[in-house]
Amino acid sequence: MSSSGNVVYDGFIKMPYNWAAGDTGSWFLTQLRDHKKIWGTKCPACEMVFLPPRNHCLSCFVPIGEWVELKPEGVLETYTVLHYHEPALHPFGPPIIYGLIRLDGADTGLLHIISEVEPEGVHTGMRLKAVFAEERTGSPRDIQYFAPVL
């Protein structure tokens, strides 16, 4: 066995896949597509509101059945700037800003793309709003991106 250290191999695997969203995810995505509405789920025990919606509470482990409509605006909790571009994976060219946005009324954040702002203008705590795609297909990309609230 060699003690020369770890071997690093640069490779790239592009693997298309299908993913079943389940009852909760399907209803959430249908509401985005058909009504441009963002919904979370609310735990009956601890009253946490989850976005993306969950069918079981992550804290109490109880089933969740209550839906709560959320406003399309919220606060940026954290973000990163990506300078790598792979057209099949990222809809915009670099730099791409990904952020964790906690919508008003939610206790958890939604990871999404931030646009209409340069990386230098992004900061935690900034207010953002959802911008919906013109053509929606029932996917998380029905929210095209989040933009600063002016």
Profile the chain (150 residues) by mean pLDDT over runs of 10 residues.
64 72 92 97 97 95 96 97 78 87 97 96 98 95 96
pLDDT of residue 19: 75
pLDDT of residue 3: 57
pLDDT of residue 92: 73
pLDDT of residue 4: 62
Question: Smallest Cα–Cα separation from 107: which of 66, 70, 81, 72?
Answer: 70
| Token output for 132 | 């919906």
| Token output for 30 | 């249908």
Question: Phi/psi class of residue 44: alpha, beta or left (left: φ > 0; alpha: ψ in -120 to 50)?
Answer: alpha
Query: How far is 66 from 49, CA to CA, in rounded Å?
Result: 9
